[in-house]
């Protein structure tokens, strides 16, 4: 939802729906599964406990120096707290009076705040960031009225390098100043850096030979040509800064790995090859599959399968949080919107059902591991109530599953499937859950 003044908020339904039960610290499974671009009703209906967003633009809260309008953000934080939903707000450094004139002109051409940059007045920005965090930190000092649940994670910028208008040196300086402002207000707050965009993430990993190949819109990318391109060089400088000197100024690294789930281990391995971020928690607050096709032709069934494969892969890699898109975004291309859990007509799609089945089956998992078997992917989740394994095959056919003691088989639609016969079961690219 786009509010006048440039404050972008996730859309929330009216209060009065069933609330999530309050309790102690969330389990690893509860923390892994989140959403983005969703209504509060949709968040609670899915049964997840956190949501990426909203995007809070500096100029929307402080349209004039020293003049603040907190009302809409207060209402949003209050509603989320009453529903026991954790928010991960995204703060964006742009205002018509505090940003550089060239950035103001560039964003005006788009009629929205698309990019941020090092502010013209860094002291004004730091003051705003500190006041923002202080208002929602729950320490009893200068908190908003009626604060139910404090905000403890703040994402600095939405996506990098796409949403950053300045160079790498400015990015390093900006992140350092912003972290200082956030931690001064709330020393226990966690700073999440703006997500590393998929195109830059895959291009850099491919350039460094962590990925054997790369295709865009169905066409293979030539490595030698890529590394000589001006766009790549500009993006690479920002990525190197983010994974290098800037890493001292954030607690959590966010990655946006849209596309092929099979390459996630290589990509994450490439990220961990950078010593400055190797030990930092990894989140994926925007991503999904199978948009690697980039043509908007994925079927609902393929996307439903992609939901499970993406989360299984990230669980195996130790990613702490991952947010799937619920609602399509009008300004986003079809190839990205095809992954949404809700269709453009407002109806729940097959991916929605697959998400709910996935949550039902693996909720409360304490350990996860992958079984090695040619032609078969089997990801085992250990839960207090017993083991459940998500399994799928590279191609459709009868597969030997005798290694598993199977009493129940559930498809992504939540329906029971036939049990194996003589240790074999028909499997294909669409995962099923065996228990």
Q: Domain for residue 2, yes or no?
A: no
Q: Domain for residue 6, yes or no?
A: no
Measure the CA angle with vertex 311, ends 308 and 315; round to 5°. 135
Q: Domain for residue 369, yes or no?
A: no
Asked whether residue 81 falls in the same domain as residue 45, the answer is: yes
Q: What is the CATH number of the domain that holds 223?
A: 3.20.20.80
Please name the helix (run of DSSP H) or strand (run of DSSP E) that holds residue 264, with its range, or none: helix 264-272
Domain count, the chain: 2
Q: Are 268 and 280 in contact (CB under 8 A)?
A: no
Asked whether residue 300 falls in the same domain as residue 264, the answer is: yes
Asked whether residue 208 falls in the same domain as residue 276, the answer is: yes
CA-CA distance, 200 to 171, in Å (whole number)?
A: 16
Q: Domain for residue 276, yes or no?
A: yes
Q: What is the pairing mode between strands 190-196 and 153-160? A: parallel
Asked whether residue 287 falls in the same domain as residue 402, the answer is: no
What are 380-411's pLDDT values in tens digits? 999 999 999 999 998 999 999 988 889 999 99
What are 320-346's pLDDT values in tens digits? 999 999 998 876 766 777 889 998 888
**What is the average per-residue pLDDT within 89-114?**
91
Q: Domain for residue 161, yes or no?
A: yes
Asked whether residue 162 falls in the same domain as residue 305, the answer is: yes
Please name the helix (run of DSSP H) or strand (run of DSSP E) that holds residue 226, with its range, or none: helix 223-228
Burial label, 75 (beta-carbon count in 10 A; 0-12, 13-18, 19+): middle
What are 230-276's pLDDT values in tens digits? 999 999 999 999 999 999 999 999 999 887 788 899 999 999 999 99
What pLDDT is attached to residue 418? 93
Q: What is the pairing mode between strands 86-92 and 153-160? A: parallel
Q: Are 309 and 289 in contact (CB under 8 A)?
A: yes
């Amino acid at each position: 939802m786009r509010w006048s003044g440039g404050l972008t908020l996730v859309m929330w339904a009216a209060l009065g729906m069933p609330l999530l039960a309050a309790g102690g610290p969330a389990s690893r499974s509860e923390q892994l599964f989140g959403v983005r671009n969703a209504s509060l009703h949709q968040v609670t209906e899915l049964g997840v406990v956190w949501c990426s967003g909203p995007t809070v633009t500096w100029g929307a809260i402080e349209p004039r120096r020293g003049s603040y309008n907190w009302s809409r953000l207060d209402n949003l934080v209050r509603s989320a707290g009453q529903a026991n939903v954790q928010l991960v707000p995204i703060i964006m450094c742009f205002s018509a009076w505090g940003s550089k004139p060239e950035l103001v002109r560039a964003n005006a051409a788009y009629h929205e705040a698309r990019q941020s940059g090092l502010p013209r007045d860094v002291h004004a920005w730091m003051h705003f960031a500190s006041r923002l965090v202080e208002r929602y930190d729950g320490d009893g000092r200068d908190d908003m009225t009626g604060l139910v649940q404090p905000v403890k994670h703040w994402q600095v910028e939405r996506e990098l390098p796409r949403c950053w208008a300045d160079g790498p040196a400015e990015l390093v300086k900006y992140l350092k100043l912003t972290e200082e402002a956030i931690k001064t207000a709330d020393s226990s707050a966690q700073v999440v850096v703006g997500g590393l965009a998929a195109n830059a993430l895959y291009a850099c990993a491919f350039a460094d030979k962590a990925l054997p190949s790369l295709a865009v819109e169905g066409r293979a990318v030539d490595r030698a040509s890529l590394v000589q391109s001006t766009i790549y060089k500009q993006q690479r400088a920002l990525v190197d800064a983010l994974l290098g000197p800037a890493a001292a100024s954030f607690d959590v690294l966010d990655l946006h790995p849209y596309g092929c789930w099979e390459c996630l281990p290589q990509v994450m391995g490439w990220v961990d090859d950078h010593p400055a971020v190797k030990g930092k928690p990894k989140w994926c607050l925007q991503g999904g599959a199978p948009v690697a096709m980039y043509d908007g032709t994925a079927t609902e069934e393929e996307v439903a399968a992609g939901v499970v494969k993406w989360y299984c892969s990230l669980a195996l890699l130790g990613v702490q949080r991952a947010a799937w898109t619920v609602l399509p975004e009008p300004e986003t291309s079809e190839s990205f919107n095809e992954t949404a859990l809700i269709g453009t007509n407002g109806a729940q799609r097959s991916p929605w059902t697959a998400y709910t089945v996935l949550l039902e089956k693996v909720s409360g998992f304490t350990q996860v591991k992958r079984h090695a078997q040619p032609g078969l992917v089997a990801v085992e989740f250990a839960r207090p109530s017993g083991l459940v394994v998500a399994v799928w095959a590279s191609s459709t056919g009868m597969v030997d599953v005798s290694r598993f003691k199977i009493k129940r088989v559930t498809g992504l639609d939540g329906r029971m499937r036939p049990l194996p016969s003589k240790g074999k079961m028909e499997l294909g690219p669409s995962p099923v859950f065996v228990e």
